[in-house]
């Protein structure tokens, strides 16, 4: 097989990347023809005393610029290229075959040009063989598009023509995640997505695809289904946006503490975006791993409790205790308010539970009567394993907001109470978690 100079070849190979134009700002407007729009407009305002100087150029904004080079492409986008092989002679050329490869730092992908996968064709005089190739780039770094054309000369010799096109695949997004372990096996994931491209784009979809052990609830929409974002997730260069998700283990996983400890993979983030000209890109993260749960030998959960109660009324909440140790437990539960002077509630509890085998759980109610207004904390709850004489002190059991007896569900008081108190309760206290990304 012979390789000759490109100018001496019977066939011409042209490769053009298919991409959208870019928006560029205009410099000084230069006109030379009397029929040019700025010139015509200038003649109209020439004798207008209130017209602004250079008013003929006020309407000029950005314009579209066609690609001037092979350029760069971002990870997750689709690389598209037009390949054309043309017979420049006046006689047929036989044995024409085209091979296109895309080389990266770690792989080489063969991009077939012909749908019928013919090994060779005959190009008549001035005939063209062309096609469009598309490939979703999946690796960052230098890529080389290798185009090779083989044919047979009229003398019967095999000829070869090769061209190389080098381009860079860049990272479009910077994704940072942070996990927060909450009560009741809930996990909160905060994902920060930053635009590290040179132009704006719109986040079309940001979803967390859960693994088999977990279920995911997106906290990025309002109850009516509308997004919490007002600008359709449009990100300018270097700007970022946060997304929040609530992750819960499935019921069969949550019951088995050993299985729950081993279920570290919670899912993958699936991100789809579009550039300002509609070019689509998609990325998916690797499996995200949650923070490990720190379980002691005994675990206490509050599974049913009201947020607001009236002062002087009975407040009952349901508790669940789980034996996470490897030995059985005989538990003695005790809640005593008499030993704590100034306690904002009254009530006591002193009872025993049935023996709990490893992994077993038991539920029981606790009842108090609030005696002070405001946010009160029910604690501590003392649980003793009588089999091993081991004591567990739960310093935080539940929190509840205590309001006046005449407080209405809509947040209002009776008129006589508003007159009686100089500083009525204006609004309910709201706990807000400040989220930070590392």
Strand partners, 280: 274
Choose among 123, 128, 98: nearest CA to 111: 98
Each of the 438 residues of the chain gets a pLDDT tens digit; together they read 444 455 578 899 999 888 877 776 665 665 566 666 566 666 665 655 555 555 555 555 667 777 667 777 899 999 999 999 999 888 999 888 899 999 998 889 998 765 445 556 888 998 998 889 999 998 999 999 999 998 888 888 888 999 999 989 999 999 999 998 876 678 899 999 999 998 888 888 899 999 998 999 999 888 787 777 766 678 889 999 999 999 988 888 777 777 777 788 899 999 999 887 788 899 999 999 887 766 677 888 888 888 899 998 999 999 888 887 888 999 999 988 776 777 888 888 889 999 988 878 899 999 999 988 999 888 888 999 999 888 888 887 888 899 987 766 554 444 333 333 333 333 323 333 332 223
- DSSP secondary structure code for residue 416 in this structure: H
Task: For residue 37, give the H/E element and its range.
Answer: helix 37-44
According to DSSP, the β-strands at 240-249 and 201-210 are: unpaired
256-265 contacts at long range (C-beta below 8 A, 24 or more positions apart): 256/359, 257/295, 257/299, 257/322, 257/324, 257/359, 258/359, 259/213, 260/185, 260/293, 261/292, 261/293, 261/295, 263/211, 263/213, 263/214, 264/289, 264/290, 264/292, 265/211, 265/213, 265/289
Q: Dig out the tokens for 264 from the structure.
A: 């570290």
Residues recorded for the chain: 438
Task: For residue 166, give the H/E element and its range.
Answer: strand 158-170
What distance in Å separates the CA atoms of residue 27 and residue 119, rounded to the nearest whole number? 51
């Amino acid at each position: 097989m012979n390789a000759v100079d490109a100018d001496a070849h019977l066939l011409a190979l042209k490769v053009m990347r298919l991409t959208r134009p870019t928006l560029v700002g205009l410099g000084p407007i230069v006109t030379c023809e009397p029929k040019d729009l700025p010139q015509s407009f200038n003649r109209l305002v020439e004798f207008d005393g209130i017209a602004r100087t250079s008013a003929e150029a006020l309407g000029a904004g950005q314009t579209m610029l066609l690609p001037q080079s092979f350029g760069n492409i971002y990870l997750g986008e689709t690389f598209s290229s037009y390949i054309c092989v043309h017979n420049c002679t006046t006689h047929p050329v036989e044995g024409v075959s085209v091979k296109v490869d895309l080389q990266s730092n770690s792989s080489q992908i063969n991009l077939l040009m012909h749908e019928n996968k013919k090994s060779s064709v005959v190009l008549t005089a001035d005939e063209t063989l062309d096609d469009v190739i598309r490939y979703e780039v999946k690796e960052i770094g230098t890529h080389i598009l290798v185009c090779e054309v083989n044919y047979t000369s009229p003398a019967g010799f095999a000829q070869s023509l090769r061209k190389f096109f080098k381009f860079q695949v860049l990272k479009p997004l910077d994704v940072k995640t942070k996990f927060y372990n909450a009560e009741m096996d809930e996990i909160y994931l905060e994902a920060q997505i930053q635009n590290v491209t040179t132009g704006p784009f719109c986040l079309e979809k940001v979803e967390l695809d859960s693994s088999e052990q977990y279920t995911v609830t997106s906290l990025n929409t309002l109850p009516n289904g509308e997004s919490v974002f007002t600008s359709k997730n449009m990100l300018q260069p270097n700007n970022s946006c946060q997304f929040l998700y609530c992750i819960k283990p499935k019921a069969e996983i949550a019951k088995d503490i050993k299985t729950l400890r081993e279920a570290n993979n919670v899912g993958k983030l699936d991100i789809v975006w579009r550039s300002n000209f509609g070019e689509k890109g998609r990325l998916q993260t690797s499996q995200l791993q949650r923070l490990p749960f720190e379980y002691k030998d005994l675990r206490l959960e509050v599974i049913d409790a009201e947020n607001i109660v009236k002062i002087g009324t009975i407040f009952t909440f349901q508790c669940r205790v789980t034996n996470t140790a490897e030995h059985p437990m005989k538990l003695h539960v005790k809640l005593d308010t008499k030993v704590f002077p100034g306690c904002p509630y009254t009530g006591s509890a002193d009872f025993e539970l049935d023996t709990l085998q490893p992994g077993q759980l038991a539920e029981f109610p606790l009842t108090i009567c609030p005696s002070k207004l405001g946010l009160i904390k029910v604690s501590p709850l003392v649980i003793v394993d009588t089999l091993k004489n081991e004591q567990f002190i739960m310093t935080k059991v539940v929190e509840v907001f205590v309001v006046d007896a005449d407080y209405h569900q809509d947040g209002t008081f009776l008129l006589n109470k508003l007159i009686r108190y100089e500083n009525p309760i204006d609004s309910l206290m709201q706990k807000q978690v400040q989220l930070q990304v590392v």
